[in-house]
Every structure is written in structure tokens, then in C-alpha cells.
Structure 1
Amino acid sequence: MTARVSLQLPPARLEAYSWQEAGHCRGMDSEKFFTDDRDQTQKRRVSRTRDAKELCSGCPVIRECLEHALAVPENYGIWGGTTAAERQRLLLRPAAATGTAA
């Protein structure tokens, strides 16, 4: 049995995404955060993922970024210091396990 996720995107207004202005990744090459390239070695993918997560770790908007990635959902890349697989696991957790109300 799979969990059903209700998605509700924020309205298409600049204010809904203004948090991105404060991101550590602002102005960086987005390729740094999309580490899933199957043409590279596993070791290189792991290294690039670790580097991207390290950049996220001290970011002042890491929470907003993760919330965005879960709400949309973002199926690729590092968002809010998490991989797509990690976000998928967060979405599949029962509400009780995440501390949120159903």
C-alpha cells in the first residue's frame, strides 16, 4: 500500500519564493546540486552529493528549501540538504512519525 500525498503548490507569486534570495546556492551553477548523472562513477556521485549537502548545511533557508522540495515535489537534485530518495522517504512516513497532524 502506498501513501497518498496531497500536493498544494504555493500561488504563482514572487513572494512565495522570495526565500530563495537568501540561499547559499544563489548564483551558483545548479549542476552542483544535480548529482544523479549516471555517466559518472559511484564514487564521484557520492562525493558530489556530499559536497552539495555540505553547501546546504549552513544555509539560512534550508528549512524553506526542504519544505518547497517536499511540497512540489522536486524529484531530482539536492534540496534542503536532502537527496530525492531521502525526500521520498520523508513523504512516505506516517504523520505520527514526522510529528505532524494528519
Structure 2
Amino acid sequence: MIERFSLPGTISAMHTDTISPGGLDWQTQALCAQTGADFFFPEPGSSVREAKRICGMCEMRPACLEYALANDERFGVWGGLSEKERLDIRRLGNR
């Protein structure tokens, strides 16, 4: 289950030692678990449109985004937001 969030050839993008308040049960129900990581971790400069479309239909999107923000995920699309969009949220929160 955790490998689907890993970038090929890198250390897992998901931190198994940090768990969101609701646990990680949302991952098994998330649509990304059924589609594969390629959409959610595209090559640099590639479109994230398809990942965002899938996230938009996923009931687990809020939990996923909460996890990504709480654990400072810096790669891929999480909760329907790209790396840059999550960075913008973190910056706004630090003001």
C-alpha cells in the first residue's frame, strides 16, 4: 500500500513513522490506490491534470491533503494539490 506513494528509484515519499490523527485507513479507500502512482508523481514539467481529476472524485481527498500538509510532502499530487500549491498553503499559514 505505501509503495504507491513512492517515487521510482527514491526513498519512499511517505513517512511511515508519522501518522495523521485519523490514521492511515483513508489510503486503502483512496482512488489513487486503484490507479497507480504514475498520475500522482509525473515527470518534472508533465501535467498533473489527470491526477487532479481523479482527486476531485475521491472522498478521501481531505484526509490526503491533511496528511500531506502535516507531513510536509514535497513531491507529487496529494489531496488534489501539486507541490507548488501545497507550498503556497504552507507559506500562507506561516504569516
Q: Who is 1:28 aligned against?
A: 35
SS in 1 for 2:72: coil
| TM-score (normalizing by structure 2) | 0.71
1:66 paired with 2:65, answer: yes
Q: Which amino acid aligns with 1:61?
A: M
Aligned length: 77
Cα distance in 2 for residues equivalent to 1:75 and 1:94: 16
Greater share of helix: 1
The structure whose Rg is larger is 1
Identity of aligned residues (%): 30
In structure 1, the partner of 2:9 is none
Following TM superposition, by how much is the alpha carbon of 1:26 offset from its aligned partner in structure 2, in angstroms? 1.2
Deviation, 1:94, is 3.6
| Matching residue of 2:25 | 18
Letter of the structure 1 residue corresponding to residue 28 of structure 2: E
Return the TM-score normalized by structure 1.
Answer: 0.67
Q: Could you tell me how far 1:67 is from its partner in structure 2?
A: 0.3
1:44-93, Cα deviation, whole Å (9 max, x unpaired): x12xx001100000101100000000011110000000000000000111
Whole-angstrom distance in 1 between the partners of 2:73 and 2:31: 18
Aligned ranges 1:18-97 → 2 under 5 Å = 18-35=25-42, 37-38=43-44, 42=45, 45-46=46-47, 49-94=48-93
Q: Which runs of 4+ in 1 moved over 2 A?
A: none
Give ranges in structure 1 of 5+ residues lacking alignment. Answer: 1-8, 97-102
